[in-house]
Homo-oligomer: A and B are copies of this chain.
């Protein structure tokens, strides 16, 4: 939301996601070394967005990447990536990608060793990017929000020390609209916050993307439509003529309704 012309971060400081519309909203990409939360309901494409960021880094931007997963097997990522035409096994063979799976039973104490493995892999391939899929797994390690916050804070600081630019996914259990309360406050710990939401418009469910926070950088503040295509996430135009989009159940503006009923004024 920093004004045009005020954008003093050089593009060379940016890690482009490879999603054209999103990179434009981000004014070029993620700030190198930042950690950005991508949150959404099931099926909104959080992991896809993250994989696309990793794939773009490994194939176009010359930034090898890591994927840290706690539940899904590497082959799941291979298969899902293949759906979008991304050849993850080839990237692994070329030392441009590592998929690191941690046991879903990992405890808080184990986190150190997870970080160790991550660092070793990062070193091997000279990784510059990481996808943590998902941060929700951390939430299952403790019921104490203070401990959770500190744990995530330390983990993210670890990623930064490794020189990684990070996308961290987070599952949002609300299908439409907001949860009443984000008690873990993880959004305060990260450098950026991208929200993916379902929105019901005209008897169909659309997807909406919003950048709510981007520390140290300007960003677009409009709510954009996006699609999951055969080539990955495609961010498109903003919504028009709707009120309350972030509630998931927007209504047409009255002006829009008049126009639909009576035609546009000339």
Residues of A within 8 A of B (CB): 1-3, 5-8, 41-43, 71, 79-80, 83, 104, 136, 140, 145-146, 150, 153, 171, 173-176, 178-183, 185, 187-188, 193, 198, 200, 203-207, 210, 212-216, 218, 221-223, 227-231, 238-240, 242-255, 257-263, 265
Query: Chain B contacts of A244 at CB under 8 A?
Result: 200, 249, 251
Distance between A69 CB and nearest chain B CB, rounded to angstroms:
13
Taken together, the copies of this chain in the complex come to 6
* CB–CB B175/A215 < 8 A: no
A204 to B208, CA, bound (A): 11
A248 to B247, CA, bound (A): 10
* CB–CB A188/B171 < 8 A: yes
* CB–CB A230/B187 < 8 A: no
Query: Chain B contacts of A153 at CB under 8 A?
Result: 71, 104
* CB–CB A203/B42 < 8 A: no
A206 to B210, CA, bound (A): 12
Distance between A200 CB and nearest chain B CB, rounded to angstroms:
5
Query: Chain B contacts of A183 at CB under 8 A?
Result: 173
* Given A80-B216, A140-B146, A258-B262: A205 in contact with B223 (beta carbons within 8 A): yes
* Given A212-B42, A221-B205, A244-B249: A150 in contact with B104 (beta carbons within 8 A): yes
